[in-house]
Amino acid sequence: MVDFAKAPVAKVVPKTTTLHGDTLNDPYAWLRDRESAEVIAYLEAENAYTEAVMADTKDLQDALYAEMLGRIKQTDLSVPYRKGDYWYYARTTEGRQYPIYCRSRELGSEGGEQILIDANAMAAGHDYFRIGVLAVSPNQNLLAYSTDVEGDEEYTLRVKDLRTGELLPTEIKRTYNTVRWAADNETLFYNVLDAAKRPYRVYRHRLGSTTPDVLVYEETDERFTLEVNETRDEAYLLLDSHSSTTSEVRLLRATDPEGEFEVLLPRVQDIEYAVEHHTNRFYVTINDTGRNFRLVTMAEADRSRERWRELIAHSADVLIEAVEPFADHVVIVQRSGGLRQLRIDTLGTGESHLVIFPEAAYTVYPVMNVEFRTNLLRFSYESFTTPASVFDYNMDTRERELKKQEEVLGGYDRTAYETERLFATAADGKQIPMALVYKRGMVRDGRNPTLLYGYGAYGINTEARFSSSRVSLLDRGFVYAIAQTRGGSDLGRPWHDDGKMLNKRNTFSDFIRCAEELIAQKITDSDHLAIEGGSAGGLLMGAVVTERPELFQAVLAHVPFVDVVNTMLDTSLPLTVGEFEEWGNPQEDRYYRYIRSYSPYDNTRPASYPHMLVTAGLNDPRVSYWEPAKWVARLRALKQDRNILLLKTNMGAGHFGASGRYDRLKEIAFEYSFLLKAVQTPKQP
């Protein structure tokens, strides 16, 4: 068992705040000072302790890493897509962490490849590296790209002349991840961050200009973020202002970069919409008649509501997620019964059909549909057992061509694994979907090691995705399950509404019911059940382990949002104001009472807890590192058991962990080693 005498002990510095008549105690608030040598030393001591506790798994980590690496085709090529005169693609090379982005006029031609960006060369000397945007100008002579070398999601924007390979003088810092070209090939529109790292302004930059960039629009409502986009036919540039519940779009013809952006539909609280364009009409998805959206069109020349044409009415059972117009077709990305669907409407004939998929649980989404005048829809399909597969689908003949399936080396056989869907019944009678995958022949003896994943926030869906790394768990007898709890939009927008604000506790109780159902079905028991979630899903982990610590054997909490009251009271932090529409504003008594009732940091109590691995990123702008650090410190002080409790902080990355593919595999190998160690280590009271 672990020598807890060597575990770091965070000092207690009394700090109290009075709010709504309550006294809030925050004895570890001092950990917020990331410039403090004492704070850094504490985080490094926690990392050293984590390494010491996990030292006996070093051989296992190496074995897992070798297994996972052995399934990956390290030298590989993405499916090329056509844009104008070029084919664009990315390739990876064995031993190199990052992709190389390329293009070629003729695929396979000797010496015809042009390297646009070699991310490996750019990443040299940096612990972290990520490409934000890659935007080729309409004439394909210029490339705008942005990079982040800290993990703090602040990108530096540059422009490369693809004819000469030279970098232009343009270098713009603190940009975010949306950039668009105007049709003149000389004008760029980009968004930048405010002090709270909210994308709030869009500027216009003209190449070669010696005057300051022009501020096009500033979003002054702190609930809203601002992005710059374009319609699929490249006719219009779009400024998209949106909060969690409300949106407003401004548009400008791409051929008129010096013009003024015009509001399409003025913002109305709790009304969201998105815009596309085809010929002389706008296609608008809008939730003005129901939470799941409808699809309408409006003429460019007359957008008055009485002249709108409704193409798809609102449905209580089908959520419209997105619309992608083509010259002769419209693709509707929708969701029904917890699964995404692709609906194809043929313009002119009015004919409509769904693309059919064979498996009980899967995910599908359109990818790289750059061409507008084509009858081919490209989409990616995957499931728990089917590796990511790119298809070209003929929207007229309904034939599909597999262009590429992720190659899984090492003898992977998808028929050796089985997928099923289960439902857990919530206290209010709602049916909570789950999807499971396991090695065929799994015996329901109630003792299978099981990993249950959950997220449940922001309307983000929990999908059945393939992972070649996960095979290492499945082959060791693990069952892997996802819980589509309320808080996501898996069953439509009302599913999200039932898991946010003053309904947030439904997310936690749904997850607990899913865990109980896995036990009732004799798939596992509380001595073999591990759970996993990150960010808002890390809040889910904290809430359920605080409420029902005896139900779980192990917890993986990635960058968990667990200090909810303090974070939501601090409007200087990234995301806070915009989050009021997801969690509520604790300055209001009713929201404070509700948030206070579940915030893990505030509700940690003397109890016996499961084995736990908690991760953090020192540069994380979304969930500040001190949230997991403070939570672990409080858990150490209050827990009444001898079970494993580890804090692992990535000192050179942010919210998403390691950026290089080999480094990421090492992180997964470490986490899987913890899980395997935890399910084999009896909990000690």
| DSSP-assigned beta bridge partners for residue 148 | 130
Number of Cβ within a 10 Å radius of residue 563: 29
The beta strand positions in 400-493, using DSSP E, are 400-405, 417-425, 431-439, 450-453, 479-483
Indicate whether 263 and 319 sit together in one domain. Answer: no
> Does the annotation mark 563 as catalytic?
no
Q: What is the pLDDT of residue 685?
A: 85
Would you say 513 and 455 are in contact if contact means Cβ atoms under 8 Å apart?
A: no
- List, in order, residues 6 or more apart from 525 with CB less than 8 Å away: 446, 447, 519
Q: What is the spatial distance between Cα 38 and Cα 60, in angstroms, rounded to a whole number?
A: 33
User: Taking 90 as the threshold, does the pLDDT of residue 107 lie above it?
Assistant: no
pTM of the full structure: 0.96
Instruction: Give mean pLDDT, residues 482-509.
Output: 98
| DSSP-assigned beta bridge partners for residue 285 | 274, 295
Give which of 363, 297, 362 is closest to 330, Cα–Cα.
Answer: 297
Indicate whether 265 and 173 sit together in one domain. Answer: yes
Within-domain flag for 368: yes
Q: Is the dihedral of CA 469, 383, 519, 445 positive or negative?
A: negative
Domain boundary among 255, 271, 287: 271
Indicate whether 374 and 262 sit together in one domain. Answer: no
**43 phi, psi to nearest 5 deg:** -60, -40
Give the total number of structural domains in the chain.
2
Q: What is the spatial distance between Cα 557 and Cα 126, in angstroms, rounded to a whole number?
A: 26
Report pLDDT digits (tens) over 320-373.
999 999 999 999 999 999 999 999 999 989 999 999 999 999 999 999 999 999
Indicate whether 190 and 156 sit together in one domain. Answer: yes
User: Taking 70 as the threshold, does the pLDDT of residue 2 lie above it?
Assistant: no
User: Taking 60 as the threshold, does the pLDDT of residue 141 lie above it?
Assistant: yes
Q: Show the tokens assigned to 455.
A: 């997220």
Q: What is the pLDDT of residue 3?
A: 63
Burial of 63 (0-12, 13-18, 19+ CB in 10 A): middle
Would you say 60 and 54 are in contact if contact means Cβ atoms under 8 Å apart?
A: no
Within-domain flag for 105: no
Indicate whether 282 and 239 sit together in one domain. Answer: no
Q: What is the spatial distance between Cα 137 and Cα 141, in angstroms, rounded to a whole number?
A: 6
Q: Show the tokens assigned to 337.
A: 């019964």
Within-domain flag for 283: yes
Q: What is the largest CA-CA distance in the chain?
A: 75
Give which of 429, 460, 462 is closest to 339, Cα–Cα.
Answer: 462
Instruction: Give mean pLDDT, residues 389-417.
Output: 97
Within-domain flag for 282: yes
Domain boundary among 247, 271, 295: 271
Would you say 201 and 276 are in contact if contact means Cβ atoms under 8 Å apart?
A: no
Residue type, 232: R
Q: What is the spatial distance between Cα 141 and Cα 385, in angstroms, rounded to a whole number?
A: 41
Distances (CA, A) of 364 to 325, 333, 405, 492: 18, 9, 14, 17
At 112, is the pLDDT very low, low, confident or very high (cuts 50, 70, 90)? confident
| DSSP-assigned beta bridge partners for residue 647 | 614
CATH number assigned to the domain comprising residue 398:
2.130.10.120
Instruction: Give mean pLDDT, residues 551-558.
Output: 98
Indicate whether 316 and 259 sit together in one domain. Answer: no
* DSSP code string of 590-633: HHHHHHHHH-HHHH--SB---EEEEEEETT-SSS-THHHHHHHH
User: Taking 90 as the threshold, does the pLDDT of residue 606 lie above it?
Assistant: yes
User: Taking 70 as the threshold, does the pLDDT of residue 5 lie above it?
Assistant: no
Within-domain flag for 195: yes
Instruction: Give mean pLDDT, residues 580-606.
Output: 98
Q: What is the pLDDT of residue 575?
A: 87
Within-domain flag for 659: no
| DSSP-assigned beta bridge partners for residue 198 | none
120: enclosing H helix or E strand: helix 119-123
Instruction: Give mean pLDDT, residues 616-626.
Output: 96
Indicate whether 288 and 327 sit together in one domain. Answer: yes
> Does the annotation mark 655 as catalytic?
yes
Indicate whether 224 and 283 sit together in one domain. Answer: no
Give which of 529, 673, 539 is closest to 613, Cα–Cα.
Answer: 673
Tallying the residues shown for the chain, one arrives at: 685
Instruction: Give mean pLDDT, residues 251-258.
Output: 98
Give which of 27, 10, 68 is closest to 469, Cα–Cα.
Answer: 68
Given the residues 148, 213, 602, 620, select the one marked as catalytic.
620
**554 phi, psi to nearest 5 deg:** -150, 155
Q: What is the pLDDT of residue 182?
A: 98
Provide the mean pLDDT of the chain.
96
Indicate whether 400 and 294 sit together in one domain. Answer: yes
User: Taking 80 as the threshold, does the pLDDT of residue 480 lie above it?
Assistant: yes
Indicate whether 266 and 351 sit together in one domain. Answer: no
Q: Which residue range(s) make up the domain with 251?
A: 129-271
Distances (CA, A) of 465 to 123, 339, 462, 664: 29, 12, 9, 17
> What HEC string does 26-49 produce?
CCCHHHHCCCCHHHHHHHHHHHHH
Q: What is the spatial distance between Cα 186 and Cα 206, in angstroms, rounded to a whole number?
A: 6
Given the residues 558, 655, 659, 673, select the one marked as catalytic.
655
Q: What is the pLDDT of residue 6?
A: 85
* DSSP code string of 345-387: EETTT--EEEPP--SSS-EEEE-----SS-SEEEEEEE-SSSP
Within-domain flag for 253: yes
Residue with tokens 């309408």: 296
Q: What is the pLDDT of residue 347?
A: 95
Q: What is the pLDDT of residue 110?
A: 65
Domain boundary among 379, 407, 435: 407
> Does the annotation mark 535 as catalytic?
yes
| DSSP-assigned beta bridge partners for residue 365 | 380
Q: Show the tokens assigned to 389.
A: 């597969």
Q: What is the spatial distance between Cα 372 and Cα 329, in angstroms, rounded to a whole number?
A: 10
Given the residues 243, 467, 535, 659, select the one marked as catalytic.
535
- List, in order, residues 6 or more apart from 39 with CB less than 8 Å away: 30, 31, 32, 33
Indicate whether 276 and 266 sit together in one domain. Answer: no
Report pLDDT digits (tens) over 273-305.
999 999 999 999 999 999 999 999 999 999 999
Within-domain flag for 157: yes
Indicate whether 175 and 217 sit together in one domain. Answer: yes
Would you say 534 and 616 are in contact if contact means Cβ atoms under 8 Å apart?
A: no
Q: What is the spatial distance between Cα 135 and Cα 188, in angstroms, rounded to a whole number?
A: 10
Would you say 659 and 653 are in contact if contact means Cβ atoms under 8 Å apart?
A: yes
